[in-house]
Amino acid sequence: MKKLIFVSTLTFFLAYLLISCQGKSAPATHQTKIDSPIVKKLKDTISIVAVGDIMLGSAFPSKTNLPPDDAVNSFAAVDTFLRGDIVFGNLEGCFLNSGNSSKCAGLNPNSCYAFRMPDRYAGIIKQAGFNVLSIANNHVGDFDSRGRKNTAKILDSLQFKYAGQLNKPFDIFEVDSVKYAFCAFAPNENTVSIKNIDSAKLLVAKLKEQVDIVIVSFHGGGEGANFEHVTRKTEIFYRENRGNVYAFAHGVIDAGADIVLGHGPHVTRAVEVYKNKFIAYSLGNFCTYGMFSLKGPNGFAPLLQLKVNAKGDFIYADIVSVKQDKINRLTVDDSFTAFKKLKMLTDFDFAGHNLLFENNRISLKN
């Protein structure tokens, strides 16, 4: 336990140093005239597109778990909606062309959930429009350090912005003159912990000092149809502590986060606006081929088109409801199941909220 605490503390200390270094400029070599400070005017409306889990097909344990079109058309039904300043998803697996998973040692590989996408699939995700990915989850490490390192190499080569592993707790970048920080958390090995809320708040607060908008992603909570609700308690699943996602989301917003995007339960969960900041507690399964269960609520998910102002305050969110099945794969859901589910769960879990759900749009009542 002491070792774990030390590693966590050390990680955030290193993150603190990294952020501090990024905020320092080179010393002046001569005296210059000091002009009046220039106030940067940010764009009035920032567009954030966000989805849940992405795993386009795994070549492990065999190539039968790869889609018949080699994943080329994975996003064909929805790619027109994947347009924004930030287009985010959770990368639920690593990029690796070969190798076995140590987690499956001694097990029947066909009943062991370990995902490695061929390296070439990263280009499909990039071409679809995604530019920010979370690698904080329980599957990026399925093939140990080899998978994690190769995933980072591939993401870097395609200029993705990503975060969530201990050696990459955050990313700072600029899009259209707006400076963003992205950080991601999970309860899993080698990830930045969702369970240490105080450390998460410290990291977010330091990031907020450096940027205009802080986006926080988390992978947390129980999984499946029995875990659709935000309990406001620590969630235990398969005897694992999966975090208190309610306390975490509120804590990081208190520390300066502007947007909080959740995933992990594989089902849609409620949304909330807290201190004018938007929280999605679970965006469900978005594009997941192969061994993923798509039965019942696992087969429906929201594609979130969020608008915030220059301060990161919520304006509105349009919801494109999507669905998946084993034959048709990812398609738009004309029955708007995910939008209806968002409304029902939000009404139940956050009774008395100030949100209006109408015509596939979430807005403030006042």
Q: Tell me: the pLDDT tens digits for 313-335?
A: 999 999 999 999 999 999 999 99
Residue with tokens 């450390």: 199
Distance of CA 202 to the CA centre of its chain: 19
**Can you give the pLDDT at residue 110?**
76
User: What are the domain boundaries of the chain?
Assistant: 42-364
Full-model pTM: 0.91
For residue 133 the two structure tokens come to 């990915």
**Can you give the pLDDT at residue 343?**
98
**Can you give the pLDDT at residue 6?**
40
Residue with tokens 């398969």: 238
- 245-255 and 197-208 helices cross at what angle (nearest 10)? 30
Residue of 117, 121, 125, 191 lying closest to 160 (CA atoms): 125
CA diameter of the chain: 71
Residue of 250, 304, 248 lying closest to 275 (CA atoms): 250
Q: Yes or no: is domain 42-364 CATH 3.40.220.10?
A: no
For residue 72 the two structure tokens come to 């080329």
- Rounded to 10 degrees, what is the CA torsion of 219, 223, 226, 228? 30
**Can you give the pLDDT at residue 108?**
83
Which portions of the chain are predicted below pLDDT 50?
1-7, 9-10, 13-14, 16-17, 19, 21-34
The rounded radius of gyration (Å) of the Cα atoms in the chain is 20
What is the rounded distance in angstroms from the CA atom of residue 311 to the CA atom of residue 343? 26
Q: Which residues of 307-333 are buried (b: 16+ CB within 10 A; e: fewer)?
A: bbeeebebebbbbbbbbbeeeebbeeb
Q: Which residues of 164-181 are buried (b: 16+ CB within 10 A; e: fewer)?
A: bbbebbbbbeebeebebb
**Can you give the pLDDT at residue 16?**
47
Q: What are phi and psi of 250, to 5 degrees?
A: -65, -40
**Can you give the pLDDT at residue 39?**
65
